[in-house]
Structure 1
């Protein structure tokens, strides 16, 4: 693989629909920027009814998108995968183990796994849950791209046999995410799909402050929240906010809230895309704490950290808008300097070329036999 343009095939959870998942937003930003570097991308997506009913990008202009109904239908694309410089299989792809076996068998270039859920994946493997990845597949991928950095990368190599584990964090498409001049509707907002392990923190950092401060206004946007949640009257619920409306949602908030899943807190070094989206929109964030966050944003300069409802209320009741605006501008500068889709696309290209160079240094390499089953 020289410096010539690359042909890449991605088998991911979704590109066409952002409903109920964060994968589509990640893939859209990354692959749009990757294509802008002169590369060719084919995205293969399993055609499932829950995304079919909520497709907000059925025809992306930056890459080819093809839907396949079942595993057997992937054979149509074997030639494309074989001739590609690289193939990437994403986490949470339906029948992901079988898809991974097929991709490794078909690929003649670099094969990679892109884990947008690394701590969740590793927790599942520890339980023997091989929903979309099995330990036997990991050594067969030339490259393990991970949403989580830090010590987890060494664990993937030393315990699971990955030839190369590399961090590839999420990012933001700054063409779509930027500051907007809109009326402020909320003092604090949260954008995210319901998750049982995030809900206690959402209760502590948003619902409890809302109960204690009826004069303040809050919002929670995202699908799949249970009907039995007792929402305070000053919390506005939005079932879904599409990516095109994210910037206006952030801009309408004095502060945004970042809540991290329990597995990702334990692993650390797992920044959420909302950190970069809100930052690009110049909306300052209040976040829970986890190892590695200070490598992404500097606490009290780019982001505010909280432990209790009282911490959150102290921020929201502080009328110093000069400080709030300074936080917002610092966060935006940090994102633009380090965390745009263009940064990630360049990193992806470098990782793929590095993996290709490793393959080329092993002449006569015979692809490993795929696990049975």
Structure 2
């Protein structure tokens, strides 16, 4: 790609994190891709009150097109995108997903790549397994490439078994320009803080890993952020609920408690290799992170040195009781060093750049196997820091 490739990206929202955890991922990747010379137009529907809860203005590193959440609106958006070099349909747009997944394939051409980018591969694959007549199943082999933001070998193998030409994970990461240490704020002070929306396949795990330790440790303070919890809170005097926490407050949220909790949704925990955006946000802020256990953690952060792992709610309580503030700060500092050196969106964008330039005529990435290793991603950092290299 000698010219500046134009990417038309259909996703949930770039400008709002409201009921939209993928926004941080989109922002970090698209901003980093712009450094490499990619021009992105992000198409998002005017839906779910996201435009009324915007976190950012329209950025300089991408063009944002907000279309009406109607059949006519999505059809016009797709028509406007037909001149792009690369078209991306992300999972979970939330409006006319089935229609978009089918119709975007009509724009395939020898000089145009059409990608399905799954930002919730475990949920997508479990949905297909439950419903063999799911219309997306027949479309998988037609996409030039499937990218995912997590899942590792289980997701790669599953997508290939379903006929994908290739599947490569592009993991969540840190954008050091937006997530970094700030001064603590009393309104976010707590012993343990958790930020996550109430979702059906995470709710039981939140009760186990967050509410249960809160009940066991009445002298500790627990802080909950995210949408949907107000109607399902246990009556505990040491528990506070904030509701939606805007993106501009995430750094202060992560820097104001002794530890920050990560709880994966059930499907992500089962597939493993799926670090949530909040892990990298918190690590970038230097927070001491406690996470529920899932396979593949050590690929991203070293347990007990850069992150604490809990298999049960009792493990969370034990960490809170046994880890001193000094050691918690040391763990947070080690996590920050690790993600800055290996897990930034500059690393991920360089990986995407290599994938796109390595596609063969049959859509399979000529070097995708090597690209899946941390060493492969580290070797690509030079490209991300010097856009002329390999462009």
Structure-2-length-normalised TM-score? 0.86
Once the two structures are superposed, residues 92-139 of structure 1 have per-residue CA deviations (whole angstroms, 9 ceiling, x without a partner) of 1222121122211124311001111100001111122888x6111111
- The one-character-per-residue Cα deviations of 1:62-121 (angstroms, maximum 9, x if unpaired) are 111111223333444556533322111010122212112221112431100111110000
**How far apart are the structure 2 equivalents of 1:207 and 1:166?**
36
**Counterpart secondary structure, 1:135:** helix
For the 8 Å contact 1:84–1:107, the answer to whether it is kept is no
Q: How many residues align?
A: 358
Does residue 55 of structure 2 align to residue 56 of structure 1? yes
Which residue in the other structure is 1:92 paired with?
92
The alpha carbon displacement at 1:273 in A equals 0.8
2:150 matched to 1:151? no
Query: Bigger CA drift: 227-236 or 298-307?
Result: 227-236
Corresponding residue of 2:31: 32
- Structure 1 78/235 Cα, relative in aligned 2: closer, same or farther at 3 Å? closer
> What is the match of residue 285 of structure 1?
289
350, 354, 379: which is aligned to 1:350?
354
Structure 1 residue 228 displacement after superposition: 3.5
Q: Could you tell me whether the CA contact under 8 Å between 2:165 and 2:362 is conserved in 1?
A: no
Taking a change above 3 Å as real, the CA distance of residues 291 and 359 of structure 1, as seen in their structure-2 partners, is: closer
Aligned to 2:255: 251
Work out which of the residue numbers 156, 165, 168 in structure 1 matches 2:167.
165
Q: Report the Cα distance in structure 2 between the residues aligned to 1:117 and 1:40, rounded to whole angstroms.
A: 25
- Aligned alpha-carbon RMSD (Å): 2.1
CA distance in 2 between counterparts of 1:289 and 1:359 reads 35
Task: Please give the per-residue CA displacement for 1:33-62, whole angstroms capped at 9, x wherever unaligned.
Answer: 111222111011112152232222342221
| Match of residue 71 from structure 1 | 71
Partners of 1:16 and 1:56 within 8 A in 2: yes
| Correspondence list, 1:294-333, <5 A | 294-318=298-322, 320-333=324-337
- Confirm or deny: 8 A CA contact 2:9 2:88 kept in the other structure: yes
1:299–1:305 CA contact under 8 A, matched in 2: yes
Match of 1:368 in 2: none
Greater Cα offset, 316-325 or 4-13: 316-325
Q: Could you tell me which of 123, 127, 131 is aligned with 1:128?
A: 131
Secondary structure in structure 1 of the residue aligned to 2:49 = helix
State how far apart, in whole Å, the 1-side matches of 2:228 and 2:342 are. 32
Please, which runs of 5 or more residues in structure 2 have no aligned partner? 366-391
Helix, strand or coil: the match of 2:219? coil
Does residue 1:111 correspond to 2:107, yes or no? no
The more displaced of 194-203 and 279-288 is: 194-203
Give, in whole Å, the separation in 2 of the partners of 1:203 and 1:209: 9
Q: CA shift at 1:318, angstroms?
A: 2.9
Q: Could you tell me how far apart the structure 2 residues matched to 1:271 and 1:352 are?
A: 23
- Aligned partner of residue 190 in structure 1, secondary structure: strand
CA deviation vs aligned residue, 1:286-337 (integer Å, no higher than 9, x gap): 1111111121111111111112333222221236233212211111111111
Q: Is the 1:220–1:235 contact (alpha carbons within 8 Å) kept by the matching residues of 2?
A: yes
3-state SS, counterpart of residue 53 of structure 1:
helix
